[in-house]
Chains A and B, each alone.
Chain A
Amino acid sequence: MGRAAISSTNSQFVFPRWANYLLPGLLLALAVAVIYVPVVVGYGLAPQALAVGYRPIQPVPYSHALHAGELGIDCRYCHNTVDKAPFAALPPTQTCMNCHSMIKTDSPKLALVRQSYATGMPIHWIRVHDLAGYVYFNHAIHVNKGIGCVTCHGRVDKMDVVAQVKPLSMGWCLDCHRAPEKYLRPRDQVTNMTWDPVADAGKDQLTLGLELKRKYNIPDATFMTSCSTCHR
């Protein structure tokens, strides 16, 4: 049919001259796509984009910057199972009332805390850090082997509302498990948010880290990176 149409008018279809752009244009587009698509997928689907920066609004305007930062309450005062159990317990309302039965006793910001204390209904804190269900994580071993909270949770003592600042991806875990000496610190400094190897221990991180790695009997990379350590 098309053929008939062409022959009937006896004119050939002539591409416009700009059609010469098509081939180089296509090649250029391909070259751009080869860079563009991996960049978008790589950066866009990375945990830094999808997981980092999660900061839910909590039911009580509780501030770590005030309690842990300004008032200097140790993390373990509230998260008191962190060095004994896999799970770092969130404090029961009773713990808040230790102080708030005497301080800010009629602050509206604490209404929910008082109500929870009176009724026995727990405060429904919203979970910030949440690994996938197929990963086994254990706080106690990390804290007892000298990994500071700040290494995995950032400067919590400066956050009014807790946010996730580390990717918590497998690559991130492995980066440390391959060479924990990059992050090790003395056991009694784990809740110290401002610990610095040079200022506080007088050694650079690697020297100190290797020393502590021996002292704390941390297994070699083969064990630390074997799949069954974390997927069990």
Chain B
Amino acid sequence: MSGYQDEKLPIPTPRRLKKEFLLPGLPSPAKRILAILAALALVPLVLIWHARVSYTTEPRIQLMQDMGVQPRYGPQAPSPVYADGRAMRLPVAGTVARETYAPDDHFDRGYRLVKDPKTGQWKVDFFTDLPPQVAMSHWTLNRGRTVFNIYCAVCHGLDARGDGMINQRATELQEPKWIPPANLTQIDPQTGQLQFGPQEYPDGKLFNTITHGIRNMPAYGPQIETADRWAVVAYVRALQLAQHATLDDVPSEQRGNLR
């Protein structure tokens, strides 16, 4: 190449610039390496994108484990030490936990045993009212509604007429073993009274049905606390009243609010 000095100053067209300054192309191995590097650089990005949008059956990776995984058991944790796999041990048979110690006939059982003076037999006498621990109040009724809607409404329906979602589905599926739940607001055709009303079905008996179940109805004692079961009793009474209420039951000054 001859010296620049001999030439007239060239006009720097892009093409000439490229030729003069940007040099010949890269040797092809280098090009290939660059292309591979660029492609490899995309791999982590794709993997990350995939990890962020997809589900995995692998548990999470804890980067810094310091004390994140502690050699202790939490509630309901599994344990290889015991044959039944539970870390939480079941109490020895016959143990009475403080909260299950039930000294109060009315509150804890809803009935008492009385001796028939004539025959000398013990028989069950259900209480006909709420225990003193549970006062009938706005709060109790509200609590009763919450608990009823959680535990009972699935079968008995929100209005206690016995047509909850599970009943509808089981009827649809024609489940052979399904027994329809009772309509708790039913009027007994013989007596003209509520079949499960306070006269025929005392509060204590209703409480007992919830606690231990009856025939095909499961027990709800294990799931619902004692006071809450009494609140449900109160709320079922309210539903029974409401389902058979007439205009006369509404105080006259409130009737304008009816829609």
Query: Per a CB cutoff under 8 Å, which of B25, B47, B54, B70 touches A53?
Result: B54
- Contact indicator A188/B48 (Cβ below 8 Å): no
Q: Which residues from 15 to 40 on chain B have a C-beta closer than 8 Å to any C-beta of chain A?
A: 23-27, 30
Question: Known contacts A77-B154, A97-B218, A105-B177; is A56 also within 8 Å of B26 by CB?
Answer: no
Q: For window 72-106 of chain A, which residues contact chain B by CB distance below 8 Å?
A: 72-74, 76-77, 80, 87, 89-90, 92, 94-95, 97-99, 101-105
Cβ contact of A50, chosen from B45, B51, B170, B216, cutoff 8 A: B51
Contact with A along B43-73 (1 / 0, CB 8 A): 0110110011111111111110001111010
Which of chain B's residues have a CB closer than 8 A to the CB of A121? Answer: 84-85
B150 at the interface (CB under 8 A from A): yes
Given A48-B52, A54-B56, check contact A71 B85 (CB 8 Å): no
CB distance from A172 to the nearest CB of B (A): 14
9-residue interface stretch from B4-12, B74-82, B109-117, B196-204: B74-82
* A39 to B41 alpha-carbon distance, docked (Å): 12
| A16 contact set on B, CB distance < 8 A | 27
Q: Can you list 21 pairs linking A and B with CB atoms under 8 Å apart?
A: A18-B25, A18-B27, A20-B23, A44-B44, A45-B63, A49-B48, A50-B60, A50-B61, A53-B53, A56-B57, A56-B59, A57-B57, A71-B166, A77-B151, A90-B76, A95-B223, A103-B170, A121-B85, A122-B86, A132-B67, A163-B55
Q: How large is the interface on B (under 10, 10 to 19, 20 to 34, 35 or more residues)?
A: 35 or more
A-B contact count (CB 8 A): 128
Which of B63, B75, B175 is close to A104, meaning CB atoms less than 8 Å apart?
Answer: B175
* A2-50 with Cβ < 8 A to chain B: 16-18, 20-21, 36, 39-40, 43-45, 47-50
Task: List chain B positions with a Cβ less than 8 A from chain A.
Answer: 23-27, 30, 41, 44-45, 47-48, 51-63, 67-70, 72, 74-76, 78, 84-86, 146, 149-151, 154, 165-166, 169-170, 173, 175, 177-179, 216, 218, 222-224
Residues of A within 8 A of B (CB): 16-18, 20-21, 36, 39-40, 43-45, 47-57, 70-74, 76-77, 80, 87, 89-90, 92, 94-95, 97-99, 101-105, 120-122, 124, 130, 132-134, 163-164, 188
Can you add 9 more A-B contacts, CB < 8 Å, to A50-B63, A53-B52, A71-B165?
A: A48-B52, A50-B51, A51-B60, A53-B51, A53-B55, A54-B55, A102-B175, A103-B175, A133-B70
Chain B residue with minimal CB distance to A86? B75
Q: Chain A interface secondary structure, helix, strand, loop or mixed?
A: loop
A176 CB to nearest B CB, Å = 20
Cross-chain contact B68 with A54 (CB below 8 angstroms)? no
Task: Give the CA-CA distance A134 to B69 in the complex, in Å.
Answer: 8
Q: Distance (Å) between the CB of B5 and the closest chain A CB? A: 22
The 8 Å CB contact of A36, one of B41, B74, B86, is: B41
**Nearest CB of chain B from residue A230's CB, rounded to whole Å:** 14
Alpha-carbon distance A89/B223, docked complex (angstroms): 11
Residues of A within 8 A of B75 (CB): 87, 89
Tell whether, in the assembled complex, residue A134 and residue B166 are in contact, meaning their CB atoms are under 8 Å apart. Answer: no
Q: Which residue of A lies closest to B51 (CB)?
A: A49
Which residue in A87, A89, A103, A188 is a CB contact (below 8 Å) of B178?
A103
Cβ-closest chain B residue relative to A165: B55
How far apart are the CA atoms of A47 and B74 in the complex, in Å? 23
Q: Determine whether the beta carbon of B51 is less than 8 Å from that of A122.
A: no
Chain A residues with Cβ below 8 Å from B55 are 53-55, 163
Residues of B near A164 (CB, < 8 A) are 60
Known: A40-B48, A102-B178, A103-B178. A188 touches B54 (CB 8 A): no
Q: Which residue of chain A is the closest to B169 with respect to CB atoms?
A: A71
CB–CB B218/A21 < 8 A: no
Give the distance to chain A from B36, nearest Cβ to Cβ, in Å: 14
B92 shortest CB reach to chain A, Å: 15
B165 touching A134, Cβ below 8 Å: no
Residues of B within 8 A of A134 (CB): 67-68, 70
B204 → A minimal CB distance (Å): 23
What chain A residues lie within 8 Å of B26 (beta carbons)? 18, 21
A208–B166 alpha-carbon span in the complex (Å): 35
User: How many Å from the CB of B162 to the closest CB on chain A?
Assistant: 14
Say whether B177 contacts A103, CB under 8 Å. yes
